[in-house]
Amino acid sequence: MWLLRILTILLSTIGMAYGQDFQTSYAIVVGVDDYVSLGLPRLANAESDAGAVGRYFSAQGYQVISLLGPQAATKQKVEEAIRKIATRITERDRFVFFFAGHGKAKRTEGVDVAYLVVPGGRDKNDPVSLISTGDIMDYSHKLDLARHQLFIFDSCYAGLMGQFQTRTVGGRPQYDSETFLMRDLSTRQVRQYLSAGGEDQEVLDNGPANLSWFTYFLLKGLEPGVVSQRQSGLITFPELASYVQALSANPKHTPAFGSLAGHHGGEFLLLSTAQGSPQIPKLPSISIQTLRDLGFLTRSSAPEQVGPNIDQMREPIDLLYQAWMQKKLDLYLHQFDHDVVQTGRLKNGKTYSRGYNEIVERRRRDFERLDHVDVLKYEVMYQGSEDRQATFGVRYSMDFYWRDGKVTRERNINECYNVRQLPDEDRWVVIRNDDYQHNICYQ
């Protein structure tokens, strides 16, 4: 009895902390397989995708409106659901919109515009069947009182939904303090999105467990311990999005995520699946040729590769930041190849290039002068890999507290890392580091 009472208190405390006084959570999930009336191919898993996502949010306490199938998933009913929630929503609430179905891109006045395609019109070009980028922004505006909003699109060309806003291609920020997550990130206004493909990309329909590959990895990432090791089960949106991006990306499409108008620096927070929520099976072992032979339906073509081990590749970068926080010089230096090159740009505009010995000498002086370092955030963005080498972009914010009382504050600094796997070892090391860049590196 006492154990049950303690457990109840702990779960209540976690829920209160996670909710950060969120009063009500709403979700609209939309999924359509049957597009015969519009002359488009039938999809295999869109309704299954939306149903599974809806069950996840329902298990997390959201009030879920499910619009599944050609009769329910019309533009009219989507907008009715938006209006219904808009009459109730407050600044203490949050909102999620999920869509799985066909998408299209159309060039209008020299600008490519993305559309979610839904039944109800005469054909695929009828405005009644098209939910545009502008419509999505209008939905967001109607629900503007909501502190947090998240839009997820499992459809072709949905990357265009964020083309006029700030976008992040990849990323997995690390937050050392859950207090920071609760107190800071969850209290700021959030307007974020995640799409299965980029601006000009089709996406894959068939996948494991009667889901698309995108939705499969989305729900897989919400399993306990997959994305976040926090005991509370907390997952930030960029952590989940970057996991989905790394594992569901292939040469045909790469998931994109970022912020929409009205975003004020917070992060949408999720919880790993609790007992009783949807169980996502393990990814089956299946060859690429077998996938092709099965005749995957088109939200795209079959994936060319299973996602690489991103966590292993990025480990030296994570350990560099850990070394700063723990003031461990040996740990810091151990992450560099002895043939490493480190470049950067000073505040006066001058550039520098250092080898391993110069890095050792400079960092030894720095660590001796340091009192402590606060790593406020760092985002690690996977750019690609080939032949046992990989490239990552990083954006970080850090405060360096020196023993003489001075403080150096660095905010939103961009850098690029090239890493390689050591021969006959699992360990990866940094072979090049370009610091203080104007933009995050891209391959």
Show Cβ contacts of residue 384 under 8 Å, excluding neighbours closer than 6 positions. 390, 391, 443
Residue located via tokens 């850098």: 415
Question: Which residues are bridge partners to 391 per DSSP?
Answer: 384, 418
Given a contact cutoff of 8 angstroms between Cβ atoms, the answer to whether 212 and 205 are in contact is yes
Tell me what pLDDT residue 179 has: 55
Chunked mean pLDDT (size 10), the chain, 443 residues: 40 41 90 91 91 95 96 96 96 95 75 82 88 89 93 74 38 48 69 71 62 89 84 83 72 66 79 53 38 41 44 86 90 97 86 95 96 79 82 86 94 90 91 81 49
Residue 135 φ then ψ, to 5°: -65, -45
Tell me what pLDDT residue 235 has: 87
DSSP 128: G
d(CA 212, CA 205): 5
**Pairing relationship of beta strands 130-132 and 111-117 according to DSSP bridges:** antiparallel
The dihedral of CA 95, 172, 277, 101: what is its sign? positive
Give all strands of the β-sheet with 130-132 in edge-to-edge order.
Answer: 103-108, 111-117, 130-132
CATH architecture of 310-437: Roll (3.10)
Tell me what pLDDT residue 163 has: 42
**Which CATH code of 3.90.870.40, 3.20.20.70, 3.40.50.1220, 3.40.50.1460 fits the domain covering 23-293?**
3.40.50.1460
**Domain extents for the chain?**
23-293, 310-437
Comparing 23-293 with 310-437, is the CATH topology the same?
Answer: no
String of DSSP letters for 134-173: HHHHHHHHHTTT-SEEEEEEESTTGGGGGTTS-EESS---
Among 443, 442, 423, which Cα is nearest to 337's?
Answer: 423
Tell me what pLDDT residue 276 has: 34
SS3 6: helix
Tell me what pLDDT residue 315 has: 87
Tell me what pLDDT residue 169 has: 32
Question: Which residues are bridge partners to 437 per DSSP?
Answer: 414
Q: Exposed, middle or buried: residue 146 (CB in 10 Å: 0-12, 13-18, 19+)?
A: buried
Can you give the pTM of this predicted structure?
Answer: 0.59
Show Cβ contacts of residue 10 under 8 Å, excluding neighbours closer than 6 positions. none
Residue located via tokens 């004020």: 264
d(CA 391, CA 437): 15
Tell me what pLDDT residue 437 has: 76
Tell me what pLDDT residue 113 has: 72
